């Protein structure tokens, strides 16, 4: 009995079949079975494809329209060109240069201011001593009447009149120098903007008829812009309007010799108005 049992066991072992194999095929006779490995690899490949498709869809959904357009050749070049032009225009708009007096020009104007103040002080003192008048507001007219009643000689009248002219004119000269000190020229698209001490006037480019050179033989030449039309009406304050008009006139605007980068400013003005050469003062109509 024992012999039969072991024999049957050995026979079962020898004739056992692989699970899932065809009937009648033994384990030692069956070929290699790759279906299980292939199914696993195909399953992972499908997962990878799904993940990749999901990533690509998510990337496309988050892209901006500008980025999609840039992917094409001509369209990207056109967009870059337009963007660069917009940036350049904004840069030019925000970098408008204002031309003012240089350090040397400010020193010269300061010396002129000190000299004008000294002349004005001398004129006040000389007028008072010549006519023996007091500048006390309560006594001024009384002392002046007394001097006139006592009689004035020619040696008193002539110097007194000269000093009176200096007393009246010197403050206007001081204003002119102060306006020159704070003067600023800004070329804009609308025209040349001039501003100083509360005065702001924009002279349109078509209104600037010519650039006139004053005293061309001087070491520091002065140029004037000849203006067509009265643009001082832009100054609302009547006092400032009068002071500006008496300093420059209503149809002229000087470009001072002490302006920093003055040649650059004149070149831009020439380019804007279309004149290459300035008009000489001797040939121009005043």
Provide φ and ψ at 162, rounded to 5°: -65, -40
Mean pLDDT score, 230-256: 91
Mean pLDDT score, 96-105: 91
Provide the token pair at 265: 């400013």
Rounded-to-10 torsion of CA 217, 222, 226, 229? -150
- Tell how far CA 13 is from the center of its chain: 97
Interval 154-201: pLDDT, tens: 888 999 999 999 999 999 999 999 999 999 999 999 999 999 998 999
Would you state the pLDDT for residue 103?
93
Provide the token pair at 160: 């007194």
Write down the H helix ranges in the chain.
2-14, 35-62, 65-70, 73-94, 103-131, 140-150, 154-181, 238-248, 262-273
- Tell how far CA 193 is from the center of its chain: 14
Would you state the pLDDT for residue 12?
41
Write down the H helix ranges in 95-191.
103-131, 140-150, 154-181
- Measured from the Cβ of residue 281, the count of other Cβ atoms closer than 10 Å reads 15
CA distance 200 to 236: 10
Which residues contact residue 132 at a Cβ distance below 8 angstroms, ignoring those fewer than 6 apart?
143, 146, 147
Mean pLDDT score, 2-25: 45
Confidence of residue 96 (pLDDT cuts 50, 70, 90): confident
SS (H, E, C) 169-192: HHHHHHHHHHHHHCCEEEECCCEE
Higher pLDDT, 56 or 112: 112
pTM for the model: 0.59
Q: How many residues does this entry show for the chain?
A: 286
Would you state the pLDDT for residue 171?
95
262 touches 255 (CB < 8 A): yes
């Amino acid at each position: 009995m024992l012999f039969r049992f072991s024999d049957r066991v050995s026979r079962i072992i020898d004739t056992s079949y692989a699970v899932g194999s065809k009937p009648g095929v033994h384990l030692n006779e069956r070929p290699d079975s790759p279906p299980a490995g292939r199914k696993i690899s195909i399953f992972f490949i499908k997962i990878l494809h799904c993940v990749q498709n999901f990533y690509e869809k998510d990337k496309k959904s988050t892209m901006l329209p500008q980025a999609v357009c840039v992917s094409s050749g001509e369209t990207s070049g056109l967009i870059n060109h337009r963007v660069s032009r917009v940036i350049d225009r904004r840069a030019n708009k925000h970098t408008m240069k204002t031309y003012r007096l240089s350090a040397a020009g400010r020193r010269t104007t300061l010396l002129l201011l000190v000299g004008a103040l000294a002349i004005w002080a001398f004129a006040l003192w000389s007028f008072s001593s010549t006519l023996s008048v007091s500048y006390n507001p309560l006594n001024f007219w009384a002392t002046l009447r007394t001097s006139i009643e006592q009689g004035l000689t020619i040696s008193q009248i002539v110097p007194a009149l000269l000093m009176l002219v200096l007393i009246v004119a010197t403050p206007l000269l001081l204003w002119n120098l102060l306006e020159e000190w704070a003067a600023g020229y800004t070329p804009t698209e609308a025209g040349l903007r001039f501003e100083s001490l509360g005065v702001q006037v924009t002279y349109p480019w078509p209104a600037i008829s010519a650039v006139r050179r004053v005293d061309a033989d001087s070491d520091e030449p002065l140029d004037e812009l000849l203006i067509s039309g009265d643009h001082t009406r832009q100054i609302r304050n009547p006092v400032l309007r009068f002071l500006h008009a008496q300093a420059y006139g209503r149809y002229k605007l000087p470009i001072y010799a002490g302006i920093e980068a003055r040649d650059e400013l004149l070149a831009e003005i020439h380019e804007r108005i279309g004149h290459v050469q300035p008009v000489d003062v001797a040939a121009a109509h005043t």
